[in-house]
Chains A and B, each alone.
Chain A
Amino acid sequence: MDDLIYTLKQQIIEALNLEDMTPEDIDENASLFGEGLGLDSIDALELIVLMEKNYGIKLKDPSQGKEIFKSVAVMADFIQKNRTK
């Protein structure tokens, strides 16, 4: 799980162009949106693409993202349980 969390942090940094950040800067339990990483709605769409592209997970209902994208840890847990690649 730790490896997945680290890889996921790297993928998020690359996909969202968080240029000044390293995986170590991201608290896996911190909120991704709002006061955490301060991501916006376009970033949320990019995270949906990231999950499909890298893990074969297609969200049937985009509103699921509200729960799944609570934090990197929550996202990694969801990926581990639902990944197809």
Chain B
Amino acid sequence: MMRHEVYITTNEVKVDGKVLSHNENGSALLTELYRAHVGDYPKFFKMDTLSKLGFVASELLLQAEGAPRFEPREDRAVVFFNRSASLQADTAYQETIQDPNNFYPSPAAFVYTLPNIVTGEIAIRNKYFGETSFIVMEHCDESIMARELQNAFLDPMTQSILGGWLDCTDENHFEANLFLVEKSHVPCSEVSCQQLNESTNNN
């Protein structure tokens, strides 16, 4: 399997290293990518920004892979990492309960107040029945990520992983670096934290 990779920030999109042209920035960029490259999953509009980011990035990645889609499979895991957990969704939900005189907890906001919701969104969309996990770290740490990817392959069912870095602090600060990796490849150098940490520091 050829290695595939998608990189998305608030103002940059790359698929397998090639820049994808776009007009919008921030969360509007994710909607633009959805309309241009997906378009058949209205639930996208209900997602929080982290899930929108993961959904769009995974769609571009799987389109680049070019393999048959939407067939039930147990051999692919979804393993993501970030440092901000579900902060943007947490904040959005908090806003619905902040004012005692305007206290209307939003169920739609609440359901996204866990980072691993996005792994479920992707698994449901693609009929993946393998392991899904979301590891939150203080900062991008290649050694931890490699270890967790290797651990995921200890499950004899898992033959490939859709994984990577997926971080969002608000609608204008997010970053995805997703990839597909096979069991036969040692996943110790799939993600370069240098690029991610530099970008994080610039935000």
Residues of A within 8 A of B (CB): 15-20, 38, 42-43, 45-46, 49, 52-53
CB-defined A-B contacts under 8 Å, sample of 15: A16-B46, A16-B108, A17-B45, A17-B46, A19-B45, A42-B46, A42-B107, A42-B111, A45-B108, A46-B106, A46-B108, A49-B104, A49-B105, A49-B106, A53-B104
B42 at the A interface (CB under 8 A): yes
Give the interface SS of chain A, mostly helix, strand, loop or mixed: helix
Q: Give CA–CA (A48, B46) in the complex, Å.
A: 17
Closest partner residue, chain A, to B103 (CB atom) = A53
Contact of A20 among B42, B107, B111 (CB under 8 A): B42
Q: How many residues of B contact A (CB 8 A)?
A: 10
* CB of B107, distance to nearest CB on chain A (Å): 4
Contact of A45 among B31, B42, B107 (CB under 8 A): B107
For B42, list chain A residues within 8 Å (CB). 18, 20, 38
Q: Are B45 and A46 in contact, with the CB atoms below 8 A?
A: no
* CB of A72, distance to nearest CB on chain B (Å): 18
Q: Are A52 and B45 in contact, with the CB atoms below 8 A?
A: no
* CB of B48, distance to nearest CB on chain A (Å): 11
* CB of B103, distance to nearest CB on chain A (Å): 10
Closest partner residue, chain A, to B45 (CB atom) = A19
Contact of A43 among B31, B105, B108 (CB under 8 A): B108
- Chain B residues 84 to 128 lying within 8 A of chain A, measured CB to CB, are 104-108, 111
